[in-house]
Amino acid sequence: MRIGQALGLRHADFVSRAKEVTIVPRADNANGARAKLRSSARLPVTAGLVRCYSDYMHAEYGELDSDYVFVNLWCGQRGSPMTYAAVHDLVRSGVAIEVVARLLTHRSSTTTSQTYVHLDVADVRAALRRCGWDQPEVGS
């Protein structure tokens, strides 16, 4: 599933009993999410994903009142639809790519990495410094 498809998911799109998700192209997503489809597409999901969605709804989502599946839970306006920038910030803020992939329901963190991790030299240098490599020379 593409990031725009995931960010545009609404609870009505998730049919647990049938173990499927419908990707619906919508022009009115408050977060600007785009499905990049002309018509709806139904996708099968695993029982494990259904359990994960159920756990998420009970343990994390709670009493929030939003139609969107992926919403801000910890920062920004709580309950508002998660945006592309929020996902990008999660990746750049040091959240493990596996965690971000799980939040976006990507099967592989490689998909998430290829989409969101675009490191430049400054990013690599900062990461190396955090772990003790590439220390600046004394006097520089």
The three-class DSSP label of residue 76 is coil
When mean pLDDT is compared over 13-17, 33-37, 129-133, the highest value belongs to: 13-17
pLDDT in tens, 83-109: 988 887 776 767 777 887 777 777 788
What are the helix and strand counts (H, E) for the chain? 6, 3
Residue 135 has pLDDT above 80, yes or no: no
112 Cβ contact list (under 8 Å, min separation 6): 91, 97, 100, 101, 104, 106
Structure tokens at 87: 């996902």
Distances (CA, A) of 133 to 6, 60, 81, 137: 37, 37, 38, 11
* pTM for this predicted structure: 0.65
Domain ranges of the chain: 3-130
pLDDT in tens, 25-81: 999 999 999 998 889 999 988 898 899 999 999 988 988 999 999 999 887 888 999
Measure the CA–CA gap between 12 and 127, rounded to whole angstroms.
41
Residue 137 has pLDDT above 70, yes or no: no
Amino acid at 37: L
Measure the CA–CA gap between 7 and 34, rounded to whole angstroms.
8
Residue that the structure tokens 């990008």 belong to: 88
What pLDDT does 110 receive?
A: 84
